[in-house]
Amino acid sequence: GRQEMKEGGTNDEADGGGNKYVRISQQILIRDDCGDGKILQILIVIDHPKDTQKMNKAIISLLLLLPNGIGALSTPSATTTTSSRDSRRNKILKGIDASQFRHPLDRDLTNFFSNAPLSNVATSAIQRSLSIVEQGVRLDLLSSSVKVSPNQMPELHESIQEAASILDMGVVPELYVQSSPQANAYTLALQNQDKNKPAIVVVTSALLDRCSDEEVQAIIGHELGHLKCSHSLYLTLGGLASTPLRALPLVGSQADKLLQEWRLAAEYSCDRAALLVSQDV
């Protein structure tokens, strides 16, 4: 609860024998922040004959007693309560494959491009190019952002560890917190099985300020979904394959429309991954 002190006053009163008394009052408001916000009022009254020395002693006694009384009222119960996240552990989906939660359009187009002729050559070239970009992004983040670890923001580190375990990712990505007034999260969406060069996930400081721990983990799950599905690889491959078609009438607009629908379907796939991580609707 929250304590609010209101100053009282002194009032001269007389008893039946005509003796002068001083009534010293102090009002304490205890507000229950964890409950319904109801205010509990406590009025402390001390009666004492109007004698300066005795009155001073009464005031000193009041000042000595009040902190203990307030502390006893405001000290929370010794019993500890666990958060909803600590009280339940999400189920680990061992052996889950990206095809099991992909959106149908995302799954169909990914299969089409992965089985296309010379797709291995194209994917290898894209992976090399993206790895160079990823290395540059990593160096920039190391110099300007906070790298989450067991020693730095351990709760967030535990969150991404759990999310990666649920989606059965062999290598846990590196998580960075970037200072920004905009709530955002992103990844290069290229899953890397090399433990020395793990994938990168970035969340902004504004996102952490605005979202609960469970919401942040769901957002991390969404980004891990991009990695699990290798969206950067296949969407880049799809964009390169559709480039020659864009110059053709009718066919070009259809190719652009299909590519936009694929990007949207990829986001739906990652929303499913977020749901699998949070396991809470």
- Per-residue pLDDT tens digits for 244-266: 887 788 888 888 899 999 999 99
Burial 44-83 (b: 16+ CB within 10 A, else e): eebebeeeeeebeebbeebeeeeeeeeeeeeeeeeeeeee
Residue 175 pLDDT: 97
> What CA–CA distance (Å, rounded) separates 59 from 64?
9
Q: By CB neighbour count within 10 A (0-12 exposed, 13-18 middle, 19+ buried), where does 25 fall? A: middle
Q: Are 105 and 263 in contact (CB under 8 A)?
A: no
For the segment 226-233, the average pLDDT, to the nearest whole number, is: 92
Q: By CB neighbour count within 10 A (0-12 exposed, 13-18 middle, 19+ buried), where does 191 fall? A: buried
Helices (H) and strands (E) in the chain, counts: 9, 8
Q: What does the radius of gyration of the chain's CA atoms come to, in whole angstroms? A: 32
In order of 4, 27, 51, 54, 73, the CA distances from 7 in angstroms are 10, 6, 22, 21, 18
In 3D, which of 225, 158, 153 has the Cα closest to residue 185? 225
Q: By CB neighbour count within 10 A (0-12 exposed, 13-18 middle, 19+ buried), where does 23 fall? A: middle
> What CA–CA distance (Å, rounded) separates 229 from 33?
45
For residue range 109-119, list pLDDT tens digits in order. 999 988 888 77
Report yes or no on whether pTM surpasses 0.85.
no
Residue 264 pLDDT: 97
> What CA–CA distance (Å, rounded) separates 58 from 39?
27
Predicted confidence band of residue 269 (pLDDT cuts 50, 70, 90): very high
For the segment 63-85, the average pLDDT, to the nearest whole number, is: 43
Active site residues: 223
* Partners of 12 in the β-ladder: 22
Residue 52 pLDDT: 54
* Whether residue 70 has pLDDT greater than 50: no
> Which residue matches tokens 């890397």?
192
Element holding 229 (H helix, E strand): helix 213-229
* Whether residue 37 has pLDDT greater than 50: no
